[in-house]
Structure 1
Amino acid sequence: MAVSKTPSLLSLFLLLLLLVSAVNSIGVNYGTLGDNLPSPATVAHFLKSNTIIDRVRIFDANPDVIKAFAGTGILVSVTVPNGDIPSLTDPWNARRWVDANIKPFHPATKIHYISVGTEVLHWGPQNIVDDLVPAMRVLHAALVKAGIKDVKVSSPHAMDILLSSSPPSSASFRPGWDVGNLAPMLRFLRQTKSGFMVNPYPYYAYSPVNASFCLFKPNAGLFDKATGKRYTNQFDQLMDAVYVSMKKLGFPDVEIVVAETGWPSGGDPQNTHASLGNAAAYNGGLMKKVDSGVGTPLMPGRKFETYIFSLFNENLKGPSLDEKNFGLFRPDFTQVYDIGIISQSTNPSSRPPTPTTPTSSQGKSYCVPRPDATDVALQSNIDYICNNGLDCSPTQPGGPCFEPNTVRAHAAYLMNSYYHAKGSHDIDCDFSHTGVIGSTDPR
């Protein structure tokens, strides 16, 4: 009996190991350009208790945000604003910056990177471009002088640092930036064992012709004759183009960090590719790609530290609607779409509190989708309702309940119509003030 049990126990153990290894983490950019966002402490608790996110990047050195992540174990990368870069070429100013923004919080908060600027080569001006690498060196020296040896220094770049990217074998950095700025930076990153940060956004290269290539969907791919490699997604193409460009300067060994990448779930009317389905396809495909560990055609087996842009939909971003809709979550912590960010081991008691169900001024009870209902599930409900006799024209363009044009708002109206009015549309269009639907499946 004991002998017969051994293989099954071993198999169970190996299966558990596989299941554990399948739950991988991901980084996220935590922006705060919204007037309806939860407090940093609430955000930190939510990420720690409910998600697989184990690292965040913020776009400043906000002490409230940094302090909120103390004791969570979540890695935090902070940012030096572009305009502050020239002052940090002075050692005294760099030490003051470290004393003010790092020392009070480290190591209780696991500060991981200091991003010196954001896409400095892209935005300029020239004096800041020239000061970038010197500021990085001086800031690193200030950290060492303060006895802080586990915080890395880098700077993220837009993909226009590349002169070309297709095919990857022909890629190179732009003349002038290559030798004048990027080679010295890569040398510094090699010396300090830090990563070269890039911001690949296939969203901005989208066209109907290359839709599947951008979205990790099946396609014929791009064949690079020089290397014999075939590319089936633009993320791999861009990453290998960066790698080839680094190799041409003599720095193929420096790690590459994906500091920003993402896809909006909504946008301006002309940007029809800014959609819920495309955002879920890209970011879901990205997670599978990063977690798989397969790497890229020219970097097989390499896993990239990756940060999705962004954590929340931020209503004060702009001017385009696309910029407001890059979030994985809404400000109430409901998922915009489900790509596996919520931890499977989440304890329901650790979720943010669910609002109670109030009544309207007329004394009638209304309801909205549950906070944990995904847009995909809600759209399925909408399709079911509209295909089973309910007049859904009020939520169509031009209809009285088309605005706000979101899946949740439309689902709220139609579900109430379905359950309570059975085809009568004598019902409010705005359910933002109300409670929750007990079931998200009318079937």
Structure 2
Amino acid sequence: MEKVINTPLAHLLGALLILLTPTFLQGVEGTIGVNYGTVADNLPPPVQVASFLRNSTVIRRVRLFDANPEILKAFARTGISVTVNVPNDLIPQLTELSFAQQWVETNVLPYVPATNIVRILVGNEVISTANKLLIGNLVPAMQTLQVALVETSLDRHIHISTPHFLGILLNSTPPSTGKFRPGYDIHVLKPLLEFLRATNSPFMINPYPFFDSSDDTLDYALFRPNPGVFDEATRLTYTNMLDAQLDAVFSALKLLDFEDIDIVIAETGWPSKGDPGQAGVDTGSAEEYNRKLIQHVMSGIGTPLMPNRTFETYIFALFNEDLKPGPTCERNFGLFKPDMTPVYDIGILRPIVANAAANTDHSRTKSRAYLLMLLFVCLMCL
């Protein structure tokens, strides 16, 4: 028979958990970021966006898809970590030191240190373009940009990387068979990984369980209870698709002896609206994926092949972007509407804390210890 919890006690437990949420929010602030895309004609001014993120959410990491000066100015003195992007078409020019120096002088130097620029991404999913000129110049462009950063001493605070889509993998199922595509593995990715290791930069990947899901695998993609997927080689069972995608990347890195390099999730998300017939494309599924994503990547559980880890993760995207081409879902990945009201709530809005200024760190620590003890006593009474 199901045990019925005493109603007053249940209310007390709920109140205690709410009081203890700042501990959870601190973890979100350190781990979770958002992709701030601007392919729209109805978005609020950047200064308003920066203020909203700083004061009303727990998001403390933002990834841009360019180096928009208005946005960089808007994030000055917010303390939010900002990642900027060099467009794909500039990669060949970036191999010239004079161009790299000019790019840094124009797009970085005027804004630091007021704006906390922490990472520069050279291109986006470059290998997926199949453009030999871009792919062949990717690593040389990153190396030349690094020289320009070293000359200005910015390399102490700003790291260089580039995001990849999962199509760089030849195999990904089961995760233990993960390997990079032949040709790219030795000639592009190995030199890239050597650069990342030398500069203490992460390998950045864009895993999207949404795009690999179907009616049959929806529970697996959305972190719901499911039978799991068993990997015969490792004897490990996967209960969600994101872990399987990340471990396939890890297996590919390990095959080249670069398993020590950190993996950062540069993009992942779930649309709240799509075209008729798409499985799991609705507000509820989007809320479920992103909420459970946050809980999972910051839980410290890690993945079957990478246990006891958290993953720096950037949710795609901050806003719905009404000018993006493609199917309906492409315009509906946003967490917020243009008026900055949430499309759905995933727990990143900052609660109003009364009398916060009167609380010292010491008193908060004592209060939490007391509340934890009280919570334990309440649980023992159930």
**TM-score strictly above 0.5:** yes
Q: Pairwise mapping of residues 237-386 of structure 1 onto structure 2 (< 5 A)?
A: 237-345=244-352
Q: Does 1:36 align with 2:32?
A: no
Contact 2:215–2:279 (CA under 8 A) maintained in structure 1: no
* Post-superposition CA distance 1:319-355 (Å, at most 9, x none): 21111100000000111111101112378xxxxxxxx
Q: Which amino acid aligns with 2:301?
A: V
Pick aligned residue for 2:190 from 179, 183, 186: 183
Q: Pairwise mapping of residues 53-92 of structure 1 onto structure 2 (< 5 A)?
A: 53-92=59-98
Offset at residue 17 of structure 1 (A): 10
User: Normalising to structure 2: TM-score of the pair?
Assistant: 0.85
Aligned residue number for residue 237 of structure 2: 230
Taking the aligned partners of 2:20 and 2:235, their CA distance within structure 1 comes to 33
* Post-superposition CA distance 1:60-105 (Å, at most 9, x none): 1100001100000000000000000000001111000000000000
Offset at residue 269 of structure 1 (A): 1.7
Q: Which amino acid aligns with 1:159?
A: L
* Post-superposition CA distance 1:165-195 (Å, at most 9, x none): 1111111011111111111111100110001
Structure 2, unmatched stretches of 5+, are 1-16, 355-382
**CA distance 1:86–1:346, shift in 2 (3 Å):** farther
SS at match of 2:60: strand
* Post-superposition CA distance 1:215-261 (Å, at most 9, x none): 01000101112112110000000001101100100100000010000
Q: Which amino acid aligns with 1:223?
A: F
Q: Give the greater-gyration-radius structure (CA).
A: 1
User: Normalising to structure 1: TM-score of the pair?
Assistant: 0.74
Contact 2:214–2:279 (CA under 8 A) maintained in structure 1: no
Pick aligned residue for 2:175 from 153, 168, 171: 168
Aligned residue number for residue 375 of structure 2: none
* Post-superposition CA distance 1:255-290 (Å, at most 9, x none): 001000000000122324221111111111101101
Aligned residue number for residue 98 of structure 1: 104
* Post-superposition CA distance 1:95-142 (Å, at most 9, x none): 000000000001110001101001000013111100000000110110
Contact 1:49–1:346 (CA under 8 A) maintained in structure 2: no
Taking the aligned partners of 2:239 and 2:310, their CA distance within structure 1 comes to 18
Richer in helix (by share):
2
Q: Does 1:111 align with 2:117?
A: yes
Looking at both structures, which has the greater relative contact order when contacts are Cα pairs under 8 Å and sequence separation is at least 6? 2
Q: Does 1:27 align with 2:29?
A: no
Q: Which amino acid aligns with 1:214?
A: A
SS at match of 1:226: coil
Q: Does 1:157 align with 2:164?
A: yes
Aligned residue number for residue 426 of structure 1: none
Q: Which amino acid aligns with 2:274?
A: G
Q: Which amino acid aligns with 2:23?
A: S
Taking the aligned partners of 1:150 and 1:124, their CA distance within structure 2 comes to 32
Contact 1:313–1:331 (CA under 8 A) maintained in structure 2: yes
Offset at residue 301 of structure 1 (A): 1.1
SS at match of 1:258: strand
Pick aligned residue for 2:150 from 144, 150, 153: 144
Contact 1:56–1:76 (CA under 8 A) maintained in structure 2: yes
Q: Which amino acid aligns with 2:174?
A: P
RMSD (CA atoms): 1.6
Offset at residue 291 of structure 1 (A): 1.8
Taking the aligned partners of 1:68 and 1:183, their CA distance within structure 2 comes to 37
Deviating more after overlay: 106-115 vs 17-26: 17-26
SS at match of 1:28: strand
Aligned residue number for residue 357 of structure 1: none
Contact 1:51–1:346 (CA under 8 A) maintained in structure 2: no
Contact 2:37–2:64 (CA under 8 A) maintained in structure 1: yes
Structure 1, unmatched stretches of 5+, are 1-14, 348-443
Aligned residue number for residue 227 of structure 2: 220
Taking the aligned partners of 2:58 and 2:173, their CA distance within structure 1 comes to 34
Identical amino acids, percent of aligned pairs: 52
SS at match of 1:85: helix
